[in-house]
Chain A
Amino acid sequence: MDLVEKALAGDRRALARLLSLIEDDGPQAREALAALHPHTGRAHVVGVTGAPGTGKSTLVNELAKTLRAQGSTVGIVAVDPTSPFTGGAILGDRVRMRDLAGDPGIFIRSMATRGSLGGLARATSDAVKVLDGVGFETVLVETVGVGQAEVDVARTAHTVVVVEAPGLGDDVQALKAGLLEIADILVVNKADRSGAEQTARALEVTLDLGRNNAGDAEAWRPPVIKTVALNGTGVKAVVEAIGAHRAYLRQSGLWDRRERERIRADLMQALEETLVGQLLERVGEEELDRWVERIAARETDVYTAVESLVGLKEHSRASGR
């Protein structure tokens, strides 16, 4: 496909178009992804997540600068929430990434969640594949500002950086529930503010608790790193930790194992989407409505309807004729 070839040859306009195609989905997107697939699998995908306003974008800006100084090219996908009421979105992460302008080794793309709830957009992992495929060596993925449950990034990224900031109240408590479990690196940003030391210590204690439970001496122990993203303090240590985590993944065999998990998840998702799509096309909206009516009227139930719809049982149509 033309767009893919151009993007592979370094045409940034084509790359941007390709990303739009992926976001809007459809058969062309699938063709493009198929054509790109042989080129993927090389980038180190690093997720940056954390509560709203902790400094994720500012940190991504600094990480990208440091990575560039070390010679790596950097693709960035920054996700912000779509308004559930209007379907619109304000994507503002670029505001903090102005230092990255004008560098041909960097490509930034903002993305709206478009209804996805896990902290990323449905198309984010495919967008990452596109950036990987066209040759970006590191891909940074900034999630929306998350609470505890939005942990999709763990499936998309090799390395997850969880960004904390002091003074968010019971933030460490919240971390325990979800984000801490997916963290490979913990950053306490805004270390210029009071309370950073306490936050870092509380995180260390919580980590050690989890570690004792796991009882695995070989396991990766997430480092806790204090940063001031505003002026770059501590950012080098984060980049080093990202590199160390990559080496750990490679040596332990986790890199390959996680890739297979990711592929399996992608495969399952694609299967579901395709099969459900095919079925709905065959059945049609009206037929579906009739089933809803019959279930509501207690003439039948959801499971019986499904059996009939997928043709497990050769059954009469919902209209009952």
Chain B
Amino acid sequence: MSKQYRVLIAKPGLDGHDRGAKVVARALRDAGMEVIYTGLRQTPEMIVEAALQEDVDAIGLSILSGAHMTLVPRVLEGLREAGLEDVKVFVGGIIPDEDAETLRKMGVVEIFGPGTSTVTIVEAFRRHLAGG
């Protein structure tokens, strides 16, 4: 049997747009993964703590509020402090191209915007989790 992947899907900050997060959570579930869904209004600290307790292989952050440039770096930093730097971080939502570039340099493995097919998203998770 192949490894059972565990993924955390979280919505950091005060952003109430949760459709995308739920769509992605369901797509990953349908792809056979165990998805821990934390719900809305998570602080970066809460996300790091949940990732640690749940021993996840990846984290998916969904942000449509425009606060990604403050929230994502704080999650990445928290993960490093907790010794979780090998957890793969994905980001989705409304992320302008130039910010996406910066976030990738900081260590985010993939970033997806509106209209991305869930097939593409699932494939990216699979690829990165398999170590590609």
Contact = CB atoms under 8 A, between A and B. Distances in A.
Interface of B: 3-4, 6, 25-26, 28-39, 41-43, 45-46, 49-50, 52-55, 82-84
A88 B31 contact: yes
Interface of A is mostly: mixed
A108 B39 CA distance: 15
A245 B42 CA distance: 36
B32 A90 contact: no
A90 B25 contact: yes
Nearest to B83: A13
A148 B11 CA distance: 35
A109 B84 CA distance: 17
B66 to A, nearest CB: 23
A82 B43 CA distance: 28
A19 interface: yes
A245 B11 CA distance: 39
A12 B53 contact: yes
A20 interface: yes
Contacts of B46: 98, 101-102
Given A88-B28, A114-B4, A94 B36 contact: yes
A13 B37 contact: no
A12 B25 CA distance: 26
Contacts of A13: 52, 82-84
Given A86-B30, A89-B29, A102-B49, A110 B39 contact: no
A23 B6 CA distance: 12
A88 B29 contact: yes
Nearest to B29: A88
A41 B64 CA distance: 47
A235 interface: no
Interface in A10-58: 12-13, 16-17, 19-20, 23-24
A28 B54 CA distance: 19
A12 B52 contact: yes
B32 A87 contact: yes
A24 B28 CA distance: 19
